[in-house]
Each structure stands twice: as C-alpha cells, then as structure tokens.
C-alpha cells in the first residue's frame, strides 16, 4: 500500500473555530501583524511550534491518573528515572520543567565568562543561557547546513575541521563542553549522522572535553539515521538511540518535543560530582530532585511518551507526513529548505519573495499572508527573530536566512488538515509577486519577535 495512514484512532476531539477572511484581517490588524499576539482560538491550523503541542495517547492519560504526587521519592519519579536511564544510558537523571531549565542548570554549573561552547547550531534558549554566563555560543554546522536548497542527508552535522580549529585556537580549558543538537532545529530540523556524532565524540574525548547532546528530537534523528545512513536500516530505533548517546557524556532534553508530553524535561550526566552540584541548583528554582519542575502526573506522561516515541510505525508516519507537506509545496515551486526536516518544513521566504528586501521582512509578510488567507499560524525565522544591530552604527543587520517555519505538532493534525495547508501555500505562492513588506512600528530591546508590532507597507 502506498498510503501511510496515521497509526492511531481519535478518541477525544478538540473543536477548531472557523473564521472568515474579514475576521482574520481584523484580528491581524489588532495584533499588530504579530502572530504571537493572536489568540490560539482564532487560529485554524496552528503550526507555530511542535513544542508542548502533542496529542497524548490514552496510555499517557491513563498513566497520569496513576501519578504519585509525593514530594520525595514518588513512584512516578522511579518510573521516570528508570525509563530515561534505559533509553539514554546515563547514570544521573535530573528532572526539570522544560528544556531551558536543564540548559540553565548545565551552563550555570559548567560555564564561566570567556568560555566558548561549540554546537552544530544553538537553539535560541541554549545560546541565551550560554551568553547569560558571559560565554560565547559558537555555531559550527557544516557549510551545506547553511544553504537552503543544497540536498545532503545529514545537514545537521558539525564541521569537525572547524571544531578542531576552535579547540586549537581557544585551548581546551576555555571549552567546558561541546554540544550537538539533534535534530538541528535552527538549521532546518536537519539530522546529525551517527558517523558525525562518533567523530565529534572522538575529538572531544581526545581533548578531555565532555560532549552533550541537546536531545529534543532524538527519536526523529534516530529514525532518519535508520533511513539514510548505511548499516542502520535493520537496526531497531531503540538501539540506534542507545548508540547515539553512548558517545556523549550527558544530555539536555525538552520532553515537549519527542517526549510526546505538554511539559517536562531533564538533564543527564555521567559525572557524579557535577550531578551533585546540579541537584543543588535544581532545588533552588525547580524543586526537589525526585520531581524537579514537574508534577507526578507529568513524570508519568513523559515516561510513557518516551516509550511511545520509539514506536517505528509512529516514526515512519511522522517523518513521511512532514515530507508529504514539504514535497507537495516544493513540487508546486515553493522554495523550501531541502530536504524537509523531521518536525517542520521551512519555506525560504527570501527566494519566494525577491521583491521584499530582508529588512522589509519577507518571512513576516509570508507568515501574515498565510494567516490572513487560510488561518494558518507559522513562525518567521529570519530578520525579525535574528536581526541584529551594528554596535558601531546602530544600523540593522539582516539574518543569514529569511525562513518561515511550519512546525507540525505530533499526532494532532490529519492528512486533510495538511492537504489544506498545501493548498493554501500554493495559492499564496501563485500571487506571491503581490505580497508587500512590513515595517516595525514598535519593538522591545530583547527577543523583539514576541512582542513587536508591525505595519504593512
Ligand atoms: N533546544 C532545542 C533544539 C529546542 O528546539 C528547544 C525549544 C529548546 C532547546 C528549549 O526547550 O522550550 O522546553 O525550554 N524549541 C521550541 C521550538 C520552543 O518552537 O522550536 P524548552
């Protein structure tokens, strides 16, 4: 059979409130053309993020009823710890309320001012937590990872040569750890190969530098290794995951992604002294080490989710359905980051809307139009999000790419929802030359994309 069906049935449904074009034009105006400021009830298909938006299974809901809310040593904690240990293989598991809390604790325990942390590409919260320590977050993805249209099976790989150079230049004492983000979210959701993980690990170990994995989308990365890397086609995903993490000394995780949960995360390490320090910090802001920032029922939902996400029927459907969206719009002429990522499709708005210069925000223009036309919420990942000011002149510097991300929540939308998204994008693409840019009317000093207000030009 050619059709890959959703490998689940629907037991509970959530109403989508229909809106008209006129309503959406008013809603956009009132929100200052910033999709973050639109209430979710006014969105038809919400592709803002795949984080915390998954539909939980009946098994997860059942496990939640069994959540043990004891402050110390709850039954749910032991289930959680055992599950994380058995999948990832690390000695110490530190529960946190989400990924960035794990990052904050890790970098507070390891980074000092003047340090450098290399990664394939840091996610914004990772970068922010490193910079908050006065350290430098360095992106060392391979050159192919920065070219939207270049096809490469593992565009998330780190440039091993560049890493060796950085270690040579900075010295290992200024590099408290090296990170690999799987999949590389900020670089188009592209996977990292096992060979690259092994090679980066060898470099790290030969210099005595710990290697950490940002594990958010670990199962999607493992499945892409199975599909694309020689020697892995017949290996169970669980074994591939175990091998990936065997090359690392620890990991950070947001269970809001491949944990199939709506909240949760953890930090792992094999270093007992470091773990002790991290648990002390955990108690300050997250909670006692047997629950971190989570309720007992959250621990249950994550433990069940981590098992379910390794189901290969699920992963096959997941990867195929993301590709379905990417390939259908690409066939219609829409320029996307190739190949489609594991959790999202990224439209190259600079290539699609050449009439809009980067500082008139082509990604913003496209994402507003997708909402206006079809009620689809995407997110601009371009100069609105990553534009910087020249410290000398104050002039605005555009981002390297102008992308619009369509992130697919896990197990939430059906194929007909995705067909609707394809149709809407192709219709907007047909009349792309009529789209105009935007100017920023009001903005905050930091992370302006969350609150800025825009005016159409
Ligand atoms: N690392 C990566 C690669 C991420 O994609 C995210 C979150 C985090 C860390 C932080 O995790 O949100 O649980 O604190 N990414 C979301 C997104 C927000 O939309 O891509 P968190």
Per-residue pLDDT tens over the stretch 393-440: 889 999 888 999 999 999 999 999 999 999 999 999 999 999 999 999
Residues paired with residue 442 on neighbouring β-strands, in sequence order: 453
Q: Is 444 exposed, middle or buried (0-12, 13-18, 19+ CB in 10 A)?
A: exposed
The closest residue, in CA terms, to atom 18 on ligand 1 is 51
| Cβ proximity of 219 and 259 under 8 Å | no
Per-residue pLDDT tens over the stretch 28-40: 999 999 999 999 9
The residue among 186, 303, 188, 201 whose CA lies nearest residue 244 is 201
Per-residue pLDDT tens over the stretch 191-225: 999 999 999 999 999 999 999 999 999 999 999 99
Q: Which of the 8 DSSP states describes residue 16?
A: P
Alpha carbon distance 119, 167 (integer Å): 13
Note the pLDDT of residue 56.
Answer: 98
pLDDT band at residue 71 under the 50/70/90 scheme: very high
Tell me what the mean pLDDT of segment 339-361 comes to. Answer: 96
Output the CA 1–ligand 1 centroid distance in Å: 36
End-to-end CA separation in angstroms for the chain: 49
221 lines ligand 1 (CB under 6 A): no
The label of the residue with tokens 């270690």 reads 167
Mean pLDDT of the chain: 96
Measure CA 82 to chain center.
25
Alpha carbon distance 453, 104 (integer Å): 30
CATH 3.40.640.10 range(s) for the chain read: 58-308
Residue 126 scores a pLDDT above 80: yes
CATH 3.90.1150.10 range(s) for the chain read: 21-50+312-456
Q: Which ligand 1 atom sits nearest the alpha carbon of residue 407?
A: 19
From the candidate CATH numbers 3.40.50.2000, 3.60.40.10, 3.40.50.300, 3.90.1150.10, the one assigned to the domain spanning 21-50+312-456:
3.90.1150.10
187 lines ligand 1 (CB under 6 A): no
| Assigned token pair, 401 | 């790419």
Output the CA 54–ligand 1 centroid distance in Å: 14
| Cβ proximity of 70 and 428 under 8 Å | no
From the candidate CATH numbers 3.40.47.10, 3.40.640.10, 3.40.50.720, 1.10.357.10, the one assigned to the domain spanning 58-308:
3.40.640.10
156 lines ligand 1 (CB under 6 A): no
Note the pLDDT of residue 3.
Answer: 87
E-state strands within 104-249? 116-119, 136-139, 178-181, 211-214
Q: Which ligand 1 atom sits nearest the alpha carbon of residue 256?
A: 13
The label of the residue with tokens 């219709």 reads 427
Is residue 116 classed as helix, strand or coil in its secondary structure? strand
Residue 444 scores a pLDDT above 90: no
Note the pLDDT of residue 30.
Answer: 97
Q: Look at 46-50, 114-118, 178-182, 381-385 and tell me which has the smallest mean pLDDT.
A: 381-385
Residue 1 scores a pLDDT above 90: no
Output the CA 51–ligand 1 centroid distance in Å: 7
Question: How far apart, in Å, are the Cα atoms of 387 and each of 135, 137, 338, 449?
Answer: 20, 17, 23, 10
Share of the chain above pLDDT 70, in %: 100
pLDDT band at residue 446 under the 50/70/90 scheme: confident
Per-residue pLDDT tens over the stretch 129-186: 999 999 999 999 999 999 989 999 999 999 999 999 999 999 999 999 999 999 999 8
The closest residue, in CA terms, to atom 11 on ligand 1 is 99
123 lines ligand 1 (CB under 6 A): yes
Residues paired with residue 118 on neighbouring β-strands, in sequence order: 138
């Amino acid at each position: 059979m050619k059709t890959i069906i959703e490998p689940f049935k629907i037991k509970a449904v959530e109403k989508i409130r229909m809106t008209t074009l006129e309503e959406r034009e008013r809603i956009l105006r009132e929100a200052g053309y910033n999709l973050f400021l639109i209430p979710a009830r006014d969105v038809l298909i919400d592709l803002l993020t795949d984080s915390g938006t998954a539909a939980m299974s009946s098994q997860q809901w059942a496990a939640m009823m069994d959540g043990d809310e004891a402050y110390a040593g709850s039954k749910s904690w032991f289930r959680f710890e055992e599950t994380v240990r058995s999948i990832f293989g690390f000695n110490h598991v530190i529960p946190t309320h989400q990924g960035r809390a794990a990052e904050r604790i890790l970098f507070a325990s390891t980074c000092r001012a003047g340090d450098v942390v290399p990664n394939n590409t840091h996610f914004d919260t990772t970068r922010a937590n490193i910079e908050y320590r006065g350290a430098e977050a360095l992106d060392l993805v391979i050159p192919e990872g920065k070219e939207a249209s270049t096809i490469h099976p593992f565009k998330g790989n780190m440039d091993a040569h560049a890493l060796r150079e950085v270690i040579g230049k900075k010295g290992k004492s200024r590099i408290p750890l090296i990170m690999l983000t799987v999949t590389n979210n900020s670089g188009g959701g592209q996977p990292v190969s096992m060979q690259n993980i092994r090679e980066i690990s060898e470099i790290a170990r030969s210099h005595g530098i710990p290697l950490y994995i940002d594990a958010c989308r670990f199962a999607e990365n493992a499945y892409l290794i199975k599909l694309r890397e020689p020697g892995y086609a017949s290996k169970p995903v669980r074994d591939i995951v175990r091998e990936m993490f065997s090359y690392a000394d620890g990991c950070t995780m947001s269970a809001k992604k491949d944990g199939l949960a709506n909240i949760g995360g953890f930090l792992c390490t094999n270093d007992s002294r470091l773990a002790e320090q991290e648990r002390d910090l955990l108690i300050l802001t997250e909670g006692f080490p047997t629950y971190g920032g989570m309720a007992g029922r959250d621990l249950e939902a994550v433990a069940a989710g981590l098992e379910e996400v390794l189901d290969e029927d699920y992963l096959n459907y997941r990867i195929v359905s993301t590709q379905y969206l990417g390939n259908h719009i690409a066939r219609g002429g829409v320029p996307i980051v190739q190949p489609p990522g594991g959790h999202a499709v990224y439209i190259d708005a600079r290539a699609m809307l050449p009439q809009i210069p980067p500082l008139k925000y082509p990604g913003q223009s496209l994402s507003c139009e997708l909402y206006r036309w079809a009620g689809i919420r995407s997110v601009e990942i371009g100069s609105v999000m990553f534009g910087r000011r020249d410290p000398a002149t104050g002039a605005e510097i555009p981002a390297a790419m102008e992308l619009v991300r369509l992130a697919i929540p896990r197990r939430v939308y059906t194929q007909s929802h995705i067909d609707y998204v394809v149709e809407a994008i192709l219709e907007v693409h047909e009349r792309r030359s009529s789209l105009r840019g935007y100017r920023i009317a009001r903005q905050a000093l930091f992370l302006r994309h969350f609150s800025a207000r825009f005016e159409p030009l």
